[in-house]
Chain A
Amino acid sequence: MAKLITSDHWVDVRQGLVEREIFSDRAVYELELQKIFGRAWNFMCHESQITKPGDYFMNAIGEEQVIVVRGRDEAINVLLNSCPHRGNSVCRAEQGNTRSFFCSYHGWNFALDGRLIAVPGSDKYYGDQLDFDEWGLTRVPRVESYGGFVFACLDNDAPSLHDFLGWVGRLGIDQIAGKGEMVIVDGIQKNRIHCNWKLAVDNLFDWYHPKVSHQSAIQAGVLTEEALFPMDQMVLLGEYGHAIGGPGLSPARLAESEEKHRQLVAEGGTSRRHWRSNPASREALGSAGVRSRGHPNIFPNVWITQDGSQLCLRLPKGPVETEIWWFTLVEKSMTEDERRRVIQAATHFFGPAGLLEQDDGENWSHSTRGSIGRVARRKPLNYSMRSGLDEVTVGPDGQKSIETVVNEHAQLWTYRCWEEWMTAESWPDLIAHHSPEPTDAI
């Protein structure tokens, strides 16, 4: 069978095709660890998870296990969880509070900023020759926050977090952070799916599947068909692969929603659900952002839910294994009752027991399996829905959006940018050669 993608590309943007091997091939995966996770700003935690000196939370950058820890000086450090002596981990808990990181193998001890502070026998056995400055824990060189969300980057040549996110990535995080002061709800749901991490990511933009995958949830009255299969779709594409895809409000429906908000406030009701209507939020979100109700993905692997109460991280654990982590956030000012409602919705819809999510995992694992067979692999996957049929609208403030029906623009954009990351030699190369945001026909 002739290959449909004839060049040496993984992604054919014109035809909307993606080679299957990228979902299971070990060599592709190893390259991703280096060129994607090794270069991108990776989500670590929310600042409210580590408020006191010594508070730490374990996360990962690709397959590097990292400790995110609040230092004595209140600064956030991200340290590789590997003792430089034998490589052993210096922290075994998922979270907690500590004075230092003590290696359980030979007792090397490290300060909260990674400095080596004690080595048993440094005088008698090493003859005071060990250079303590040289043998601390490896520090992840770049740590920055946006709106309370902490990110870390291994690459010194990367742009700032602000520039990496661009307006689409920032808008994605603002879907949570824009609501006010947010705090984490204790308890990160974690589970494993035998799938490639990208198939989990591409599903978050997929408003084609709910009617089929989640049909039983619709029939059981978990959500209405309209909510799960909205016809008015809006896609925002950002540099470096960030995107938001999902429902969008037309200007008329936005006006309707804002009118409802005004009435609610006049009657003394809560305006939490309509936070976007506040003049300051409206201004910050922008002409397209204020109308978007879609799912953002912060490239490569951070999904933020529509209502801005949850963030889902998809951590690669091998080419065909992914760990799904759900973080839940509430407004600090919420009453106990409001907080409880957010938590109930969170446990009900998402997470491994969520009535929506429980039907997804098997699809992703079987799609992954479908990329292994050498004959199956010859046929690329089809991401062509609405490709070549839509237009990008540029708003008065420069925000660009595609207003259409159910589509695969955001998925194809994700893979297109993914290939640019995979083929770029370095950050300067990626900055020079990445796709600009589309501005006309798409």
Chain B
Amino acid sequence: MDMPTSGNIGQDRQDLADLSHRARLQFEVEQFLYAEAAILDERRYEDWLTLLTSDIHYWVPIRRTTTAREVADEFTRPGDMAFFDDNFDTLTTRVAKTIRGTPWAEDPPSRTRHFVTNVRITQVEGDEIDVALNFCLYRSRLNSEEDRWVGRREDRVRRTEDGLKLARRHVFLDQTVILSQNMSNIF
């Protein structure tokens, strides 16, 4: 990030205004993501749904170990197989499945901790803010089971009349073979 260093006072003021604007946006987006993570960790899944736009795309492609030469083929592409390729309706079904009846995968409930870090705003266009970040999702289950998923996320946050909403979540995991018995969680 360029720091205001010039001797020109007018320029410095402009730079400070830019910085202040960027810092405010960064703060706002980060607070949104942290609040969302807390909602998931608190298992408030129906509340989580209210943070999504109706056109959300929630996608977790499959990663493969490839040679360095073929590393461009590491992830499956949109439209091919994925672990998740969800829209608002299917996410709503996932939530319904988790809170109704006897969702054995989450009963007893898992204990999750969502960590969000290295948050970078990569593009702002109109009402939409694209965010790249690293995440770690830790899951403790029963008495001796631990899972952790680490990766990169490309989120799109949209400014709406009801505040910020999540319009896209693309999750790029670091594991190829998922070393967990399931993924009954939300990243």
Contacts and interface: CB of A to CB of B under 8 A. Distances in A.
A224 interface: no
B182 A352 contact: yes
Interface in B51-71: 60-62, 64-67, 70
A363 B100 CA distance: 19
A359 B105 contact: yes
B39 interface: no
A97 B62 CA distance: 19
Given A186-B76, A189-B83, A220 B177 contact: no
- Point out which of B85, B94, B177 has the most chain A C-beta atoms below 10 A from its C-beta: B177
B101 to A, nearest CB: 4
Contacts of B176: 94, 190
Interface stretch (A134-142, A210-218, A261-269, A289-297): A210-218
B79 A192 contact: no
Interface in B78-105: 79-86, 90, 93-94, 96-98, 100-105
B41 to A, nearest CB: 19
Given A94-B176, A216-B97, A221-B96, A187 B80 contact: yes
* Chain B facing A: main interface SS: loop
B183 interface: yes
Given A190-B176, A347-B81, A358 B182 contact: yes
Chain A's interface size range is: 35 or more
- Point out which of A217, A221, A358 has the most chain B C-beta atoms below 10 A from its C-beta: A358
A215 B101 contact: yes
B85 A220 contact: no
B100 to A, nearest CB: 4
A355 B90 CA distance: 10
B180 interface: yes
B178 interface: yes
Contact of B178 (A97, A190, A212): A190
B183 A358 contact: yes
A418 B90 CA distance: 40
A363 B104 contact: yes
A358 B102 CA distance: 13
Contacts of A346: 81
- Point out which of A98, A212, A361 has the most chain B C-beta atoms below 10 A from its C-beta: A361
Interface string A188-214: 111111100000000000000000110
Given A194-B181, A352-B178, A361-B181, A94 B104 contact: no
B64 A94 contact: yes
Interface string A174-190: 00000000000111111
A351 B62 CA distance: 11
B18 interface: no
Contacts of B70: 93, 96-97
A352 B183 contact: yes
A353 B61 CA distance: 12
- Point out which of B97, B178, B180, B184 has the most chain A C-beta atoms below 10 A from its C-beta: B97
B1 interface: no
A219 B85 contact: no
Contacts of B90: 344, 348
Contacts of B103: 216, 359
Contacts of B46: none
A437 interface: no
A217 B73 CA distance: 34
A365 B181 contact: yes
B77 interface: yes
A213 B104 contact: yes
A328 to B, nearest CB: 5
Interface string A86-124: 000000111111100000000000000000000000000
Contacts of B182: 191, 352-353, 357-362
A353 B94 CA distance: 10
A355 B97 CA distance: 8
Contact of A92 (B67, B82, B96): B67
A96 B69 CA distance: 10
B65 to A, nearest CB: 5
B3 interface: no
B62 A187 contact: yes
A323 interface: yes
Contacts of B64: 93-95
A92 B85 contact: no
A363 B103 CA distance: 12
A352 B173 CA distance: 14
A96 B86 CA distance: 28
23 contacts: A92-B65, A92-B67, A94-B64, A94-B65, A96-B66, A186-B77, A187-B81, A187-B82, A191-B179, A191-B183, A213-B104, A216-B101, A219-B101, A220-B94, A220-B97, A220-B100, A222-B97, A347-B85, A347-B86, A348-B90, A357-B182, A358-B182, A361-B181
Interface of A: 92-98, 185-194, 212-213, 215-222, 323, 326, 328, 336, 339-340, 343-344, 346-348, 351-353, 355, 357-363, 365
Interface of B: 60-62, 64-67, 70, 73, 76-77, 79-86, 90, 93-94, 96-98, 100-105, 176-184
What 4 A-B pairs come out closest when comparing CB atoms?
Answer: A187-B81, A361-B181, A187-B76, A220-B96
